[in-house]
Amino acid sequence: MSSSANSFLKRRISRQSVIQWADNVVTVGGDAPVRVQSMTNTDTADAIGTAIQVKELARAGSEIVRITVDTPAAAAAVPSIRDQLDKMGVYVPLVGDFHYNGHTLLKDYPDCAQALSKYRINPGNVGQGAKRDVQFSQMIEMACRYRKPVRIGVNWGSLDQDLLAKLLDENAASSHPKELREVMAEALIQSALQSAARAEELGLDGNQITLSCKVSAVQDLIAVYRDLAKRCDYSLHLGLTEAGMGSKGIVASTAALSVLLQEGIGDTIRVSLTPEPGAPRENEVIVAQEILQTMGLRNFTPMVIACPGCGRTTSTYFQELASRIQTYLRHQMPIWKKDYPGVEAMNVAVMGCIVNGPGESKHANIGISLPGTGESPAAPVFVDGIKVKTLRGDNIAEEFQVIVDEYVKNTYRAQ
Ligand code: SF4
């Protein structure tokens, strides 16, 4: 389904930015797939802790990782973080997230400027009044000097107050004043576009500019990006800022990003989840991948299709089997990805009874229909639509896993 669904989606035409570290080249925009990125929440001055978290995010599938660079100690730690990652064989590009003092840090810490693969600049946080243009120019000059792409990342929470005040005055004087929300949306977009134009005037290659205009409300985000997408051809970074915790954060991000991705808008995504205490940071990477995969835009890990269960389900056995298979598939992917190209598009169905079980199982690459209430204790297994076996007894999970392994080995062998 995934590859065919792709043909329904028409991507917005955008310029392509190239983000690189060593031999790892990550393109964003143009004909590149929609990229998954994430951000650490460690103190960047803690070089070991940050390098470990970057490695975990990269191993989970983050193609670009952003780190906060907010203090001299953080800037001083960046080359060491890069070095440790390189020693671990993790060549994921690092993006430095700068606010307020980026112009100074990039100048004072040239090794940091070099070790980063991209700079994020927030035009609302580069300085006030006359300092604003000077400090913005200094950051762009650094990007030109070190040949680094930039993201001009505007945020609802740190909007350029001078620009907003100007637009509010113009609106108040208008014979058809707009609502405050609309004026703020316009200020976000103008801030991004004017900053990008200024960066190009200063000599930065326009292909190397990615824009974002993040807000925290779904409808506002959709409206802002639809407008932004029409008004430029820069590559766009999508994300709902401050999405929140748990299911709220996942649902809000999915709702906003899916609408825009469906319209072909968005070249790289980040899901800004607030982690539950103790939850791994990599969850934001998994959610981003699942958004892209369920929309048929990219494949990352074989998907498990499972029914929700109902009164016909005799036990939680099928839930346990679905969970076990999902965990197993994700766990195998680092090895399978290398040895069995294409396996990431595989579908596995785990169903709870005869009502939809055999039908759904036939549609999947491999499916198992467990017995529901009153059914004989047998679990038919389907491979590419054909019933190949019926499992019985206490070892159904183990035997099903063996069938999955054999299918992968026989179907996705490297050419
Ligand atoms: S497949 Fe069977 S157990 Fe699963 S939800 Fe449908 S009726 Fe219920």
pTM, 2 dp = 0.93
pLDDT digits (tens, 9 = 90+) for 48-78: 999 999 999 999 999 999 999 999 999 999 9
Query: In whole angstroms, how far apart are CA 393 and each of 117, 367, 377, 379, 398?
Result: 55, 18, 8, 9, 11
Residues of the chain with pLDDT under 50: 1-5
Whether residue 144 is annotated as binding a ligand: the answer is no
CB-based pocket (< 6 A), ligand 1: 307-310, 312-313, 351-353, 355-357, 372
Give 28's strand partners: 17
Q: For residue 7, what pLDDT is reported?
A: 61
Q: How far is the CA of 354 from the centre of ligand 1 (A)?
A: 7
Q: For residue 21, what pLDDT is reported?
A: 98
Q: List the residue whose alpha carbon is closest to atom 7 of ligand 1.
A: 355
Measured from the Cα of 311, ligand 1's closest atom is 8
Whether residue 201 is annotated as binding a ligand: the answer is no
**CA 319/CA 397 separation, integer angstroms:** 11
Q: How far is the CA of 304 from the centre of ligand 1 (A)?
A: 15
Strands 244-245 and 209-214: unpaired
Whether residue 307 is annotated as binding a ligand: the answer is yes
**CA 10/CA 49 separation, integer angstroms:** 41
Q: How far is the CA of 358 from the centre of ligand 1 (A)?
A: 11
Q: Could you give the domains of the chain?
A: 16-295 (3.20.20.20), 303-412 (3.30.413.10)
pLDDT digits (tens, 9 = 90+) for 365-411: 999 999 888 888 899 999 999 999 999 988 999 999 999 999 999 99
Q: How far is the CA of 360 from the centre of ligand 1 (A)?
A: 11
Q: List the residue whose alpha carbon is closest to atom 3 of ligand 1.
A: 352
Q: How far is the CA of 250 from the centre of ligand 1 (A)?
A: 26
